[in-house]
Chain A
């Protein structure tokens, strides 16, 4: 079901896909992809910060750091972002 067979590289610059609408919610954000018609929930506010901040950071790691994600949680965030990349919500730029 992934967008393409592209591997997620957290050392590379990413952005939220232009085909994605991100709506802030009290729990995080609601994500709708107009291309795939997939609806997802981002269930923490820091994750929303990371996704929104991707565009202004040189790589995924620095976006995660800027969002204040604790070291211990970063692997889980990277896995979540890999999933978002596979579904086309975020994409390499």
Chain B
């Protein structure tokens, strides 16, 4: 009954950005690259 889903619908724009560039943390992956 309670509309709890509404707060998740406001964040469309930042999601688009994330699909263009994703930074990956490689701390602790010494020697991989």
Write the residues of chain A forming the contact surface with B, with a CB cutoff of 8 angstroms. Answer: 32, 37-44, 47, 76-77, 79-80, 83-84, 87
Contacts and interface: CB of A to CB of B under 8 A. Distances in A.
Name B's interface SS: mixed
Interface in B1-33: 13, 16-17, 19-26, 33
A41 B26 contact: no
Contacts, number: 39
Interface of B: 13, 16-17, 19-26, 33
Nearest to A38: B23
12 contacts: A38-B23, A39-B23, A39-B26, A39-B33, A41-B24, A42-B20, A47-B20, A47-B21, A76-B17, A80-B17, A80-B20, A87-B23
Given A39-B23, A76-B20, 7 more contacts: A37-B26, A38-B23, A43-B20, A76-B17, A80-B17, A84-B21, A87-B23
Nearest to A50: B20
B24 A80 contact: no
Contact of B22 (A41, A76, A77, A79): A41
A44 B20 CA distance: 6
A87 B24 CA distance: 12
